[in-house]
Structure 1
Amino acid sequence: MADRRTVLLDAALELVGTQGMRGLTHRAVDVAAAVPSGSTSNYFRTREALILGIVERFIAREREMATGPDDDVDPSPQGVAEALGRFVHRAVGPDRAVTLARYAILVETAQNPALRPGMAPGAAQVDAWALDLVTRAGSRDPARDLGLLANYVTGLVLHELALPSPELDPTTRIRDVIDLLDWDHS
């Protein structure tokens, strides 16, 4: 069973993903998590602290969406394509609320720059993990390729949330992008 903090953050993610940022209150998280009133404010004193907690949680959830429970990805072009394809399927399917919460928080951060310093460490952690992965998978220019892949996957997810494709095959599409980037397959 998850600890109380994780339960609260998962409930907050679901709230933001289904109701947007306006639905995020300490009281609403308490109700959604089925915990005693005041529990959320005991863990997260301010709205900003709660938002930063959600960021930490969606980073962990999104990484698991790509890696699965093993936190492992085959460091090959196909392994990267499969991991990102898995991520896309989960992001637009069973973990849709997590994805929508991430986008809502990114918009909130764009409108409230004071949140940026709190978001930066999580983004740096994800970037370091992904940069290492694409390097080991054979990228000849890891920083460039990571940026291109991340933007492609983000755009694909956003498009699929708004206008779902009946025959979505993200793994093949992502592998096509990797092949265009001409990674070393040796």
Structure 2
Amino acid sequence: MSDHEYIHTKVKSGVLIITLDDSATRNALGTEMCKQLVDRLDSFEETSEERVLVITGTEPSFCSGANVGNFRQRIIDKESLSSQSGSLPWGVMDAKLGQRNQASRYDVPQVVLRMFNLQKPSIAAINGHAIGAGMGLALACDIRIASEKSEFSEAFVSRGLIPADGSCWQLPRLIGSSNTFLLQYTGDRIS
């Protein structure tokens, strides 16, 4: 078993089991969790000993979405970069673009896309709430298996956001347009 701060991994008979573990945020996808997850997905694809991925979360949540607490720090970091004194505008722009390209690999939408583009089978073992980007993460897997206590919600609308996790593309293909509109326009929870 391999432990990081926000994910735990175990390999059993060729199956990699990743468990999201941040009880303080109900397994929300924060910056550090995303980095750990993407790096582990990269190594998963590179090894032949691990053939299938199962991703789950510590109860009571599979994943409660994006950790919006990280957004504030990212905005502050971007503002401090743009306020560097003595920098020429194109120097600041180059620095911003370089920082964005490096950091975007670990942004929540990119993590979901990384999961979707895995070259090996993936299974979401949903054992609790899958809210917002957490639902997007589950949708990005090839197979989703939910426990009876699972709940799903496209909660973006209740925060004035549009889904940026691929669910606008994935959900209609899985449950049809009308059901997708119902979930995304209301933000209601379903079980």
Question: Would the TM-score normalized by the shorter structure come out above 0.5?
Answer: no
Greater share of helix: 1
Q: Could you state the TM-score of these two structures normalised by the residue count of structure 1?
A: 0.30
TM-score by length of 2: 0.30
Higher relative contact order (CA 8 A, sep 6+): 1
> As a proportion of its length, which structure holds more strand?
2
